[in-house]
């Protein structure tokens, strides 16, 4: 098999597959990377349920997950009867799911597995550490629709963004939404060294800085949120340690003054395309303390709901609007 995704993810310790919607091709892309990384000891989990032939929610067909002997994986206890590999229990976590406690297992033979792991970002970091203590060279995470936050679960992690025909709206809409996500992940780090260090060390939910990294006074309301009308008219940097939503960016855009909103990383940008564009038109910009990378966009012209798209047209439209590599893992397998 000609390597396609492996050269793009490089030596990233964790690769998370995120999608614009359900059935965007995340598991298909992950299975492709599993094959390409056949020489590595891999570990994997999912934040939903993956590996079953038929989606238990939508009734649509899904790809199975085949692994080699030696692979580590975390899944809920209720999934074990559905795995046809010989398994060894390596440990049990304190993560509970509707399908039971999540355990860590090692495949002792080649075969198919089903995954149902932790759903919270703060649970993935400790799980990755457990995997590495057991000899994993790389961790793969099958993410959930719209959950960009999973890409920031570990320093050095990279993401594969999966898009396709299951997104409503047609090729132009899919291309525009993909470009929006890639643009969020392309938000730069601070160029000024003092500001960069200040953002990297910030632990508060909200903070205000000058462009040179000087901490400025920030008035907070009783709710704990900043009093937006008291922000300086001069260009400054507003640090937000939580989610940055569309309504928040629209509120800041209405101030009519230049403002840079900084976040720990791009996974905190939860804003829709329209709000982000409005904020930029009003002089706003986005910044991150730590930049995350989208290694590739995978395009899936096949829809689980029957609304298939023209594959070459989809690839061409995506390649026109994003700077990262775009591949069709089905067509080029």
- Give the whole-angstrom CA distance, residue 114 versus residue 53: 10
* pLDDT value of residue 143: 74
* pLDDT value of residue 266: 87
Backbone angles phi, psi at 25, to 5 degrees: 105, 20
Residue closest to 257 by CA, chosen among 228, 227, 277, 217: 228
In this structure, the number of other CB atoms found within 10 A of the CB of residue 284 comes to 19
List domains and CATH numbers for the chain: 6-185+293-327 (3.40.50), 193-288 (3.40.140)
* pLDDT value of residue 157: 80
SS3 66: strand
* pLDDT value of residue 145: 47
SS3 64: coil
SS (H, E, C) 236-299: EEEEECCCECHHHHHHHHCCCCCEEEEECCHHHECCCHHHHHHHHHCCEEEEECCCCEEEEEEE
Burial of 216 (0-12, 13-18, 19+ CB in 10 A): middle
Q: Are 252 and 277 in contact (CB under 8 A)?
A: no
Tokens of 38: 């056949």
* pLDDT value of residue 267: 81
pLDDT by 10-residue block (mean), the chain, 333 residues: 90 89 84 94 87 57 88 95 94 91 96 88 85 96 60 71 83 94 94 96 95 96 91 95 93 92 90 95 94 91 77 94 90 55
Query: Which residue is it, tokens 């939860």?
Result: 270
Residue closest to 72 by CA, chosen among 151, 3, 12, 141: 141
* pLDDT value of residue 247: 96
- Give the whole-angstrom CA distance, residue 280 versus residue 267: 18
SS3 172: helix
Helix (H) or strand (E) holding 315: helix 311-321
Beta bridge partners of 226: 220
Helix (H) or strand (E) holding 196: helix 193-201
pTM for the predicted model, two decimal places: 0.84
């Amino acid at each position: 098999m000609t390597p396609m995704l492996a050269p793009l993810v490089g030596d990233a310790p964790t690769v998370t597959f995120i999608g614009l919607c359900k059935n965007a091709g995340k598991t298909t892309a992950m299975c492709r990377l599993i094959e390409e990384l056949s020489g590595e000891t891999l570990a994997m989990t999912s934040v939903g349920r993956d590996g079953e032939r038929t989606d238990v929610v939508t009734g649509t067909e899904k790809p199975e997950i085949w692994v080699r002997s030696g692979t580590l994986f975390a899944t809920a206890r209720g999934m074990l009867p559905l795995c046809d590999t010989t398994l060894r229990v390596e440990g049990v976590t304190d993560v509970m799911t509707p399908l039971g406690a999540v355990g860590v297992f090692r495949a002792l033979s080649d075969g198919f597995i089903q995954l149902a792991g932790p759903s919270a970002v703060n649970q993935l970091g400790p799980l990755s550490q457990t995997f590495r203590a057991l000899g994993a060279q790389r961790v793969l995470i099958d993410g959930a629709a719209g959950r960009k936050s999973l890409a920031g679960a570990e320093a050095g992690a990279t993401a594969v963004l999966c898009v396709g025909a299951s997104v409503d709206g047609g090729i132009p809409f899919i291309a525009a939404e993909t470009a929006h996500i890639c643009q969020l992940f392309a938000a730069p780090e601070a160029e000024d060294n003092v500001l960069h260090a200040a953002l990297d060390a910030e632990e508060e939910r909200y903070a205000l800085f000058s462009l040179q990294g000087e901490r400025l006074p920030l008035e907070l309301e009783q709710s704990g949120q900043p009093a937006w009308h008291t922000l300086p008219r001069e260009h400054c940097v507003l640090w937000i340690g939580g989610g940055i939503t569309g309504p928040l960016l629209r509120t800041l855009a209405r101030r009519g003054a230049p403002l840079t909103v900084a976040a720990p990383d791009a996974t905190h940008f939860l804003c829709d395309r329209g709000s982000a564009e409005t904020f930029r038109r009003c002089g706003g910009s986005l910044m991150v303390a730590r930049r995350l990378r989208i290694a590739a966009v995978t395009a899936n012209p096949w829809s689980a709901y029957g609304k298939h798209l023209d594959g070459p047209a989809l690839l061409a439209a995506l390649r026109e609007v994003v700077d990262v590599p775009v591949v069709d893992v089905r067509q080029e397998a």
